[in-house]
Structure 1
């Protein structure tokens, strides 16, 4: 994780990774057939640790949106994980990047979770309205953008407070009768 986070996928060497874990390159490749498989395994490990913290049931509606704010709080204590995610998600847009499918699928799933939570919290029907989809995209974009800003200037960025502000503003926009139009 540390090597991919510090150097990105293309600049991380198997030799450095092997040295850091006390194996030879052949030893690393024994457990992970390729550098690409090692990368996707690291990303899956990151997701599994986040899923374990949720417990057996994923929160729904407003509870899921609050979970996103809690995730921002937790991320402020996990600089290495945040850096790994920020570097690799940005790198994944390049041609033939081994994590491109992972991030594409992850964003698809996350957009669905956030849209469902917004709909449920606001009491909106699942009628195919694009507005909720745009709001879900905005929440994800804010969270990812805040991570980059926080990595560059941790003392100047409160990821949780900013995420909370945006979530609340979107709730008021989508359901002013339920959440109040003026906050």
Structure 2
């Protein structure tokens, strides 16, 4: 591969990343239906056909943005060699991280609500994502119980579902309160009340 080709490839990747960042912001501001590809292209300093070269449809762009968000979050929720209480701590760390990235929180909150419609292009994505998120939280609570650190009467299946619901509800409150809600603090207090060890 020549140096010129490598530079062109790197430039293309950088532009693609810029499009994803601007699309994340636009989808968060206006939702999927209200977002404009022309606005996104303009923010990136390219033409509408130029944007379509990278992402041929609005649906393909939305799904790429959501996948990009999951890649970032996956690093925080990675379960490799992390179990039980430490795995639950990752959820609190993710809540703290989210407090530093309003655009991503807006994107997720708006699009997940829109995607309850079966006709929404991200409906299947969110159905699977919630299934995975709840299952991951339930597994973490089951591991905590195996470690002997879960309070008596706390059901891992219910606790996992409640944790994901709490995280998403806190995100909406945080957005509406313009960042005044302590998402990580509330989450930590909730989990601590379920454990017999310091959290």
| Superposed displacement of residue 51, structure 1 | 2.0
Secondary structure of the 1:77 match is coil
Cα distance between partner residues in 2 of 1:34 and 1:14: 9
| Matching of residue 144 in structure 1 with residue 193 in structure 2 | no
- 8 Å CA contact 1:114, 1:136 repeated in 2: yes
Residues 95-131 of structure 1 deviation map (CA, whole Å, 9 limit, x = unaligned): 411111111111111111111100001118xxxxx93
- 8 Å CA contact 1:9, 1:88 repeated in 2: yes
Cα distance between partner residues in 2 of 1:24 and 1:35: 15
- 8 Å CA contact 2:79, 2:87 repeated in 1: no
| Matching of residue 77 in structure 1 with residue 110 in structure 2 | no
> Where do 1:1-183 residues align within 5 Å?
1-53=24-76, 57=80, 59-123=82-146, 131-154=155-178, 156-169=180-193, 171-172=194-195, 179=196
| Superposed displacement of residue 55, structure 1 | 6.6
> Does 1 or 2 have the higher relative contact order (CA < 8 Å, sep 6+)?
1
Cα distance between partner residues in 2 of 1:54 and 1:67: 6
| Superposed displacement of residue 132, structure 1 | 2.1
- Between 93-102 and 57-66, the greater mean CA deviation after superposition: 57-66
Is there any run of 5+ residues in structure 1 with no aligned partner, and where?
125-129, 173-178
**How high is the TM-score relative to the length of structure 2?**
0.78
Cα distance between partner residues in 1 of 2:145 and 2:78: 24
**How high is the TM-score relative to the length of structure 1?**
0.85
| Superposed displacement of residue 168, structure 1 | 2.1
Cα distance between partner residues in 2 of 1:40 and 1:11: 16
